[in-house]
Structure 1
Amino acid sequence: MTSKWRRLTDRLAGKTEPEPLWQEGVPDHLDVPIRDWLYEVLRTYDMAVPVAVRLKLPSKILKSRDPYAELATLEDSKNPMLRLEVIDAVLGCVEQALQGASWHHRQTAASYARQLEGILREGGVAFAVSEDGSGLERRMDETLHATYDKAVEAGASRVETAADHLRAAFSEAYGIRPDPSAAYSRAIKAVEAVANPLYLPNEAEPTLGKVRAHLDQGRHKYEMVIADRAGAPADIDAVVAMVSLLWHGQRDRHEGGPTSAPVTQEAAETAVHTAAILVHWISSGSIRRK
């Protein structure tokens, strides 16, 4: 979610379109609030060593008189993302350190995460605090995020691993250092987690490709809960098309073929949202037997 606030001159001019998000690093107008947030959290949880080790930072930082201050103001002209990487590492280290901690301690950490999200959102930064507070992720359109949330909820209600794979796919696609190939692979696994037991219960080695073939050849056996233009339950052509798109689009699954190619960032993001819709539909019973 991005800030809906508009400066006075923009409101007077009738400007409604959102300002572009800051895509790389921490903008100057957020330097002080980010510095203060980092310093307080690093000191409160004594995170200088874990963060420096996780990011493989030079030892001079920990040898300084105030490692917390060094980390809170750390910048590198060759790596404009370094400040965000420090924030991401701090969130991750705190989350890891508080596993099994009391409710009070975890609520305090959650409060820090919400405070940071407020700074990033109001400051127009393209990265947001993840839902579990364990790191940063690329900020997403509200409608798309709602679709993702619904899919995770539906997937968790049916097969817990589907929700886990979907969360991982989202993180790989929208993290500070995206991994398109891993995101696409996780997206497919998320759909397989809910589709394989339902459509291929007796298959020894079920795959999304076999699910696609099963649905394609058995179109007459299934229908959608949504109606077509005649008012009858719609056919599953859209489902088959989406499964086929997801299955055939993973061009890095095998090497050496004439159509083998790396997965692009755009393809990975599309795959994650396609998987989210399929997980939601399959888990919620939107596709049913006649």
Structure 2
Amino acid sequence: MTRTWRRLTDRLSGKHDPEVLYEELPDHLAVPVRQWALQVVSNYQVVGVVCLRLRLPSTVLNSHSPGEALANYQDKSNPMIFVEIVDALLAALAEVRPFTAGRYNGATASDLCRQLDFILTEGGSAYMINPDKNGLCRRVDETLRQSLEAAVQAADKQTQGAGAHLREAFAAAYGISPNPSVAYSQSVKAVEAVANPLFLPKSPEPTLGAVRSTLDQGRNKYEMVVEDRTGAPAGINAVVELLNLLWHGQRDRHAGGPTSRPVTQEAAETAVHAAALLVHWVATGVIRKK
């Protein structure tokens, strides 16, 4: 869902700057999000799973109403705790599937996901429901999200491995607890999953680096479906350069070298979207032999 409504004073003043997104659980979001949680935690199995996974104190499950205790739980030392609870609730919904027609006012897991998505979007939260509907991730531009989903769908038609790696890369880059190293590594694996069978079908140990070298040395053997300025099929220079960028940018692949360093959050996000583009190109035949 894309938020298009703007407040009256902004419309009158002609202000079009992007709205500042809210971290944690600000006051204006607290009540609707906690009310949403109350619907979910009416299932005791979900409450137990969340308490176990987040290592919440026994006072929650020992309370007179564990569901209410969880929906209203606070921890002054951890301002992100309720965002983590919502994230865990979504995962439990996806796994336990406790909601069926006719129960809890007819709400289903899908209904509850749509309700939360509306609340987070309209309230300007920095978080959104992830593409797999089983947790939260940082809000990303709708165009970027759609491009990732298109790449995953194209990859799944060819090989499920690439799509799974892309999903993991996205979750690691944009999850509530980002892991840039995992995001970058999974991005590389996503491209390898679609490119290795195509460009290195007989190699016993195919890697992205080997794909890069094969295409670099065989630029005259491949072309793209898009045309260049002369009207002929374009060369694959852009593909090779994008592979170079992705391959050389993973600075934590080997330890102890003079240029080894941890992957930054910015580099991880760049890798995810570079991988999505490459996966989409390979999976849909944008790169072809002459």
C-alpha contact 1:45 1:94 (8 A) present in aligned 2: no
Which segments of 5 or more consecutive residues in structure 1 lack a partner in the other structure? Answer: none
CA distance in 2, matches of 1:160, 1:242: 23
* 1:272 counterpart SS class: helix
Structure-1 residue corresponding to 2:168:
168
Q: 8 Å contact 2:44–2:67 — kept in the other structure?
A: no
Q: How many correspondences in the alignment?
A: 288
Q: Who is 1:36 aligned against?
A: 35
Give the SS at the match of 1:60.
coil
- 1:98 aligned residue: 97
In 2, Cα distance between equivalents of 1:33 and 1:45: 21
Instruction: Give, in whole Å, the separation in 2 of the partners of 1:102 and 1:52.
Output: 23
- Identify which range, 131-140 or 184-193, moves more after superposition: 131-140
Q: Say yes or no: does 1:199 pair with 2:213.
A: no
The CA RMSD over aligned residues, in Å, is 1.8
**Contact map agreement 2:224 2:286 (CA 8 A) in 1:** yes
**Could you say which residue in structure 2 is the equivalent of 1:181?**
181
Secondary structure at the aligned position of 2:187 is classed as helix
Partner SS, residue 288 of structure 2: strand
For 2:78 and 2:211, the matched residues in 1 are separated by 44
Cα deviation, residue 103, structure 1: 9.1
Matched with 1:242 is 242
Letter in 2 for 1:221: K
Find the counterpart in structure 2 of residue 72 from structure 1. 71
Query: Matched residues in 2 for 1:196 and 1:157: separation?
Result: 16
Does the CA-based 8 Å contact 1:170-1:272 persist in structure 2?
A: yes
Alpha carbons 1:2, 1:124 under 8 Å: kept: no
Q: Residue 219 in 1 paired to residue 219 in 2?
A: yes
CA contact (8 A) 1:2 1:122 kept: no
Separation of aligned partners in 1, 2:59 and 2:266: 39
Q: CA offset at residue 77 of structure 1? A: 2.5
**1:17-32 to 2 correspondences below 5 Å:** 17-22=17-22, 24-32=23-31
AA matched with 2:27:
D
Q: 1:50 to 1:283 in 2, by over 3 A?
A: same
- Worse-matched range after superposition: 102-111 or 215-224: 102-111
- State the distance in 1 between where 2:277 and 2:157 align: 15
Query: Percent same amino acid among aligned pairs?
Result: 56
Give the unaligned 5+ runs of structure 2: none
Q: TM-score normalized by structure 2?
A: 0.95
Structure 1 match to 2:46: 47
Q: 1:155 to 1:103 in 2, by over 3 A?
A: farther
Deviations 1:261-284 (A, max 9, x none): 001111000000000000000011
Structure 1 residue runs of 4 or more that deviate by more than 6 Å after TM superposition:
101-107
TM-score by length of 1: 0.95
